[in-house]
Amino acid sequence: MSGFPSSLDNLIDRFASLPGVGRKSAQRLAFHVLSLPDEEAFAFADAISEAKRSIHRCPVCQNLTDDEQCAICTSAKRDQSTICVVAQPRDVLSFERSREYNGVYHVLHGVLSPMNHVGPDDICIKELVARVSAGGVSEVIMATNPDTEGDTTAMYLSRLLKPFEVKVTRLAYGIPVGSNLEFTDEATLTRALSGRIEM
């Protein structure tokens, strides 16, 4: 018993269930929402319901969309023969911000992780294989994170796609632009060395 009304307790619980939000922060957020004008608080509630109701996965690339297919898959300006494979919808955002990539995406919604009981059937791998086997794809770029699980997933997928004779590439990993050799960790340096290119 916190001494708060139960509906406030319930709201605090909801906020506390969000990732990275502790009990104290949840309280602060709940009090903030209560202090909002009525229409803004209700708009917040509606934003949650509305997003949940309208957003689903694009049947082609599995990215989130509120249309039948996502804007990237239906765009005539995008190169449909190059597929960039990412783990999460937010990774698509990172690429789009760079404005350098003109192909399409495939969102796995996770990476292989035996530790967390995530196997090939738990992420959108069969959808990727179906896209590649349907033909018209010249290159698949593996853009999962450069960590153990991301690397494993990329390796697994590249073997899976081998029979289709499609070019499978992996993002270059090395020293970040603007960074400093002194503060670059050994793993990154090793990657930068092994991935060195001729000048």
Number of residues lying near its own copies (CB under 8 A): 52
Distance between CA atoms of residues 62 and 120, nearest Å: 15
Closer to its own copies by Cβ: residue 76 or 181: 76
**159: amino acid identity, one letter:** R
Query: Interface mask (CB under 8 A) for its own copies, residues 92-121, using x and -?
Result: xx--x-------------------------
Contact window for its own copies (CB under 8 A) among 2-10, 77-85, 118-126, 180-188: 2-10
64 binding its own copies? (CB under 8 A):
yes
**Is residue 140 within 8 Å of 132, Cβ to Cβ?**
yes
Least separation in angstroms between residue 65's CB and its own copies is: 6
Indicate the residue among 31 and 163 with the shorter CB distance to its own copies. Answer: 31
How many helices (DSSP H) and strands (DSSP E) are in the chain? 8, 6
Instruction: Compute φ and ψ for 104, nearest 5 degrees.
Output: -110, 180
Q: What is the SS3 assignment for 22?
A: coil
Sign of CA dihedral 134, 154, 86, 46: positive
Residues interacting with its own copies, by CB under 8 A?
A: 2-8, 10-11, 13-14, 18-21, 25, 27-34, 36, 38, 41-52, 54-55, 64-67, 71-72, 88-90, 92-93, 96
